[in-house]
């Protein structure tokens, strides 16, 4: 039987002021885009973007700016864009080209595939004109190479001492996870030594300049668990804005160490994602009690569950429609993501029913959908409308902790104080 959640619906007003603190991000909802895949320039060939080809399709910061209505009309109050830094531009790698933005070469330079400094400023200005926040993805753990002996002169940090010596990652060992290289021998990702004082000063200077130059409101930090945790307070302190990190995996005891004054403001809620899949995906165990247990664990172990990032899809996971055959299962999970403790995040195309499997098939172009007003887009808009109303018109809802009232084999009822 399909799981369900009961909610009351209402209308919404947006908050017009924007700011950069964690507390001010608490009431936001975020739409995530891969810059290359969101929208094309006028006149571009809209038929030539097969995710399997793993190459650039032509999206830019300008085309995001020109198509913000689609995001704002759905009720989102923030947008998260893929990394803006210069990427690898050498011969095509074994895994294609750096269209996604995560294969960093020199963090201090912009990626001219996506536009100019003026283009990025124009996007930021337009986002803020609409009363929305701008979140930018950043990569500090590693750079990208096609060799285990890379030419360091192409990177931001050019000394051997500023990188850890190559070793493959042993995911059962924390030191290995933090010091060894992600990737593989075809596309290795040299691990930056974030305990080196020159690296720390270089990164803190860079992120302060980036945030100030482009008026960035928040940072999503890639591969956050692969960096020594005491680096983050320095880095995010220099940025002066909300930081949410990727801590991939379902181990809540490990993940919870990365939220707090000794670490990051927030992380993406991977442990809850796993529970949502178990509870709502069809076919699947429909295990509502496991989700109830995860709610209790989150409240007990995280410093502030209300700042965690709730999501159902992203660029590293199969689309929901790839793992579940019923759109109602998506809607049920979306209700939880929007109305429970945490900040809801929707990955572009979720509202269009995209069904790609893992990377690269989950990085489809959005434009073939013609930005249709689908039933899921409408449902998503309703959820944003309700959430924005509660954020702006109640005294306690945003800061109250959810309480599970009852759980059955196919349902969960929870409340939050208004």
Q: What is the Rg, in whole angstroms, of the alpha carbon atoms belonging to the chain?
A: 21
| Nearest CA among 83, 92, 87 for reference residue 35 | 83
Residues 6 or more apart from 93 whose CB is under 8 A from it? 103, 146, 186, 187
Cα distances (Å, whole numbers) of residue 253 to 176, 294, 302: 19, 11, 9
Query: Strands (DSSP E) along 294-373, which ranges?
Result: 309-310, 343-347
Task: Label the pairing between strands 309-310 and 343-347.
Answer: parallel
In whole angstroms, what is the distance from residue 55 CA to residue 36 CA? 9
In whole angstroms, what is the distance from residue 40 CA to residue 64 CA? 9
| Nearest CA among 110, 107, 103, 127 for reference residue 207 | 107
Phi-psi region of 389 (alpha: psi -120 to 50; beta: other; left: phi over 0): alpha
Question: What six digits make up the tokens of 374?
Answer: 């689908």
Give the CA-trace dihedral at 299, 302, 306, 309, to 10 degrees: -120
In whole angstroms, what is the distance from residue 155 CA to residue 165 CA? 16
Q: To which residue do tokens 């006149």 refer? A: 43
The verdict on whether 351 is a catalytic residue reads: no
The reply to whether 316 sits in an annotated binding site is yes
What pLDDT, on the 0 to 100 scale, is given for residue 19?
45
| DSSP structural state of residue 334 | H
What pLDDT, on the 0 to 100 scale, is given for residue 15?
32
Say how many CA atoms lie within 13 Å of 225 toward its Cβ.
Answer: 22
The reply to whether 352 sits in an annotated binding site is no
The reply to whether 363 sits in an annotated binding site is yes
In whole angstroms, what is the distance from residue 303 CA to residue 260 CA? 6
The reply to whether 220 sits in an annotated binding site is yes
In whole angstroms, what is the distance from residue 200 CA to residue 206 CA? 10
Q: Which phi and psi angles does 182 have, rounded to 5°? A: -70, 175
The verdict on whether 151 is a catalytic residue reads: no
Catalytic hit among 222, 313, 341, 364: 222
Residues 6 or more apart from 172 whose CB is under 8 A from it? none
Angle CA(5)–CA(11)–CA(15) in degrees, nearest 5? 110
| Nearest CA among 297, 296, 251 for reference residue 271 | 251
In whole angstroms, what is the distance from residue 393 CA to residue 380 CA? 20
Q: Which phi and psi angles does 414 have, rounded to 5°? A: -135, 165
Query: Which domains, and CATH codes, for the chain?
Result: 22-415 (3.20.20.80)
In whole angstroms, what is the distance from residue 410 CA to residue 332 CA? 11
Catalytic hit among 36, 119, 246, 265: 246
What pLDDT, on the 0 to 100 scale, is given for residue 3?
39
In DSSP terms, 188 is beta-bridged to: 183
The reply to whether 103 sits in an annotated binding site is yes
| Nearest CA among 4, 83, 2, 1 for reference residue 407 | 4
In whole angstroms, what is the distance from residue 136 CA to residue 382 CA? 26
Q: What is the pLDDT along the chain (418 residues), one digit of tens a residue?
A: 343 344 333 323 333 344 479 999 999 999 999 999 999 999 999 999 999 999 999 999 999 999 999 999 999 999 999 999 999 999 999 999 999 999 999 999 999 999 999 999 999 999 999 999 999 999 999 999 999 999 999 999 999 999 999 999 999 999 999 999 999 999 999 999 999 999 999 999 999 999 999 999 999 999 999 999 999 999 999 999 999 999 999 999 999 999 999 999 999 999 999 999 999 999 999 999 999 999 999 999 999 999 999 999 999 999 999 999 999 999 999 999 999 999 999 999 999 999 999 999 999 999 999 999 999 999 999 999 999 999 999 999 999 999 999 999 888 999 999 9
What pLDDT, on the 0 to 100 scale, is given for residue 410?
85
Buried b (16+ CB within 10 A) or exposed e, 294-332: bbebbeeebbbbbbbbbbbbbbebbbbbbbbeeeebbbb
The H or E element spanning position 23 is: helix 22-25
Q: How far is CA 310 from the centre of its chain?
A: 10
Q: Model pTM greater than 0.85? A: yes
| Nearest CA among 337, 267, 346 for reference residue 308 | 267
């Amino acid at each position: 039987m399909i799981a369900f959640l009961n909610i009351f619906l209402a209308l919404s007003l947006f908050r017009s002021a924007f700011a950069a603190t964690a507390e001010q991000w608490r009431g936001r909802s975020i739409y995530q885009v891969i810059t290359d895949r969101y929208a094309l320039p006028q006149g571009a060939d809209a038929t030539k973007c097969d995710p399997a080809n793993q190459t650039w399709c032509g999206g830019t910061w300008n085309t995001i700016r020109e198509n913000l209505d689609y995001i704002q009309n759905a009720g989102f109050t923030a947008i998260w864009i893929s990394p803006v830094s210069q990427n690898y531009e050498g011969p095509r790698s074994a895994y294609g080209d750096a269209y996604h933005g995560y294969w960093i070469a020199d963090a201090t330079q912009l990626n001219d595939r996506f536009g100019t400094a003026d283009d990025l400023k124009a996007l930021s200005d337009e986002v803020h004109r609409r009363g929305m926040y701008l979140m930018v993805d950043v990569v500090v753990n590693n750079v990208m190479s096609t060799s285990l002996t890379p030419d360091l002169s192409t990177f931001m940090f050019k000394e051997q001492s500023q990188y850890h010596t190559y070793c493959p990652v042993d995911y059962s060992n924390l030191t290995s996870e933090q010091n060894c290289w992600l990737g593989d021998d075809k596309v290795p990702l040299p691990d930056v030594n974030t305990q080196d004082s020159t690296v720390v000063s270089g990164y803190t200077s860079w992120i302060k300049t980036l945030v100030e130059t482009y008026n960035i409101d928040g940072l999503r930090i890639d591969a956050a668990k692969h960096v020594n945790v005491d680096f983050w307070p320095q880095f995010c302190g220099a940025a002066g804005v909300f930081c949410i990190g990727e801590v991939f995996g379902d181990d809540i005891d490990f993940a919870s160490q990365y939220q707090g004054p000794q670490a990051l403001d927030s992380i993406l809620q991977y442990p809850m994602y796993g529970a949502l899949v178990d509870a709502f995906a069809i076919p699947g165990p429909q295990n509502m009690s496991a989700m109830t247990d995860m709610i209790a664990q989150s409240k007990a172990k995280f410093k502030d569950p209300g700042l965690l990032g709730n999501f159902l899809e992203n660029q590293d996971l199969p689309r929901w429609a790839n793992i579940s055959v019923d759109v109602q299962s998506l809607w049920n999970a979306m209700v939880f993501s929007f109305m429970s403790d945490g900040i809801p995040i929707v990955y572009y195309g979720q509202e269009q029913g995209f069904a790609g499997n893992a990377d690269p098939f989950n990085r489809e172009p959005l434009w073939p959908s013609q930005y249709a007003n689908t039933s899921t887009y409408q449902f998503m808009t309703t959820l944003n409308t309700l959430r924005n109303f509660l954020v702006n018109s109640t005294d306690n809802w945003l800061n109250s902790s959810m309480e599970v009232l009852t759980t059955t084999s196919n349902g969960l009822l929870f409340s939050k104080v208004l």
